[in-house]
Amino acid sequence: MSEKVVKIGLIGFGTVGGGVCGLIEKQEELLKQRSGVTFEVVKVAMRDLSKKRDLELDPEKLTTDWQDVVNHSEVEVVVELIGGTTVAFDVVATALKLGKPVVTGNKALLAERGKEIFALSKQYDAPVYFEAAVAGGIPIIKSLKEAFVSNSLVNLAGIINGTCNYILERMTEAGLSYDAALKEAMELGYAEADPTLDINGWDAGHKAILLGAVGYGFLPSHKEVYVTGIESVKLEDIKLADSLGYSIKLVSVVKPSSEGVIEIRTQPSLIPKSHLLAKVDGVFNAVSLSGDAVGNSFFYGRGAGAGPTATAVVADLVDAALGSKAFLPYDESSYSVAPIEQTETAYFIRLDVKDEPGVMAKITSILGDKGISFSGTHSSVDPNAPDAEMKDVSFITHKAPFGKLQDALLALESLDCITAKPTVYRVESFS
């Protein structure tokens, strides 16, 4: 195999940047044997040069100015690992305009400013590789783009935020409150220093946009994509779902809802305990998908951390070095995002109620009027009340459009016998 040396520049030298340098150093021989490529890190930009790091780098190679890296005459491939959508955009745009391939793990950047970036990529014939942006330890971008290149994507559902999955598991298994589980996730270093995008669902939401892009060839606008986080998931809902045979997970769904219309949404949903996704615990990620020829496939692995993310970055570096084709949107006008009101699932609804005559009749009459039928009910009784009063009632409905459900919820909220805002989760069937 012919051998070549490829010179790279890194912007960002945190956990992942350090992991990338460590991996290409440790696996230099293996990388050469398998791909014929040896990587040389020629310049690295980092915020704080004085910070003590595990990996020693030649001080001559270090800078605090990203432009020193991108514009360096020897840097052939730019690795962007700083995150965010402002400076990172300038880094990537500058590299592309110089015709330099970019490797990035920045899901927010591509999901929110991907149209500009892919336009530059096309204009300057400089590829953008982003395997590390979605579930680092699972090669899902490559699989969709290469292994399943011959398949139409029938549906995809994933658990693609490890922090949320860890929090929900700790609530389920250890009975921790949401706040206690989040604190633990932060202490263990699973959540980001600012976990906002983890817990409000947008880290997974950005990843779902990229899966939609690679799966269907168009880049959805993040403004059209529906995202709800796990902030309001309650321990009592997890317990109730468990007793009904379901787990609550932050699930991202990407699938066609009608010809040329793609459903892309992320929210905490009930999933049957018998489904493989329900068995994905801790910080692990998983993607379950179906292709028209391959049928069902399931991917499982770590979605964060130095080793898994560096593995994805180095795979992309090899692709960049070998000139492999990178993703570019190709079907922009054929697809649109399904309005959330039109998307259909079953739902779990829990209503806090005053125990008084006619409560159930009023509730079922509203659901019936809105065309929402249900297959199961459950009610909890307050054991401390003198007359064992009913305190809440839950329903699992049949499938209905989300818009109809929202209408029903508004009507339910206006009833005097409903004492709190209704709690609602989708129930995913994956069919």
Nearer to ligand HSE, 254 or 400 (CB): 254
Number of shown-chain residues binding ligand HSE (CB under 6 A): 9
| CA proximity to 348, closest of 241, 273, 249, 233 | 241
Nearer to ligand HSE among residue 163 and residue 397 (C-beta): 163
DSSP 46: -
Eight-state DSSP code of residue 61: G
Report residue 58 CA to chain centroid gap. Answer: 36
The amino acid sitting at 346 is: A
18 forms part of the interface with ligand HSE (CB under 6 A): no
Rounded Cα–Cα distance for residues 390 and 359 (Å): 10
| Whether 249 is catalytic | no
Under rule CB under 6 A, residue 303 binds ligand HSE: yes
Is 112 near ligand HSE (CB under 6 A)?
A: no
- With respect to ligand HSE, which residue has the nearer C-beta, 143 or 161? 161
Helix (H) or strand (E) holding 266: strand 261-272
According to CB under 6 A, which one of 8, 69, 126, 304 is a site residue for ligand HSE? 304
Which residues, listed in sequence order, are joined to residue 159 by a DSSP beta bridge? 286
* Among positions 12, 101, 139, 162, the unique one binding ligand HSE when judged by CB under 6 A: 162
Q: Please tell me what DSSP assigns to residue 144.
A: I
Distance of CA 217 to the CA centre of its chain: 18
Tokens, residue 340: 């959330």
Of 76, 112, 203, 319, which one interacts with ligand HSE (CB under 6 A)? 203
Whether residue 161 contacts residue 303, with contact meaning beta carbons closer than 8 Å, is answered with yes
Per DSSP, the chain holds a count of helices (H) and strands (E) of 14, 18
Q: Which of 121, 161, 343, 397 binds ligand HSE (CB under 6 A)?
A: 161
307 and 103 Cβ atoms separated by less than 8 Å: no
Closest to ligand HSE by CB, 78 vs 134, is 134
Instruction: List the one residue from 28, 68, 184, 192 that touches ligand HSE (CB under 6 A).
Output: 192
Choose the stretch contacting ligand HSE; rule: CB under 6 A; options: 13-21, 67-75, 172-180, 190-198: 190-198
Residue 304 or 318 having the CB closest to ligand HSE = 304
Catalytic, out of 142, 207, 249, 370 = 207
Please enumerate in sequence order all residues whose Cβ is within 8 A of that of 180, keeping only pairs 6 or more positions apart, or say none.
170
156-164, 271-279, 339-347, 365-373 -> range binding ligand HSE (CB under 6 A) = 156-164
**Residue 281 makes contact with ligand HSE by CB under 6 A:** no
In the complex, the residues that contact ligand HSE under the rule CB under 6 A are 161-163, 190, 192, 198, 203, 303-304
Residues identified as active-site: 207
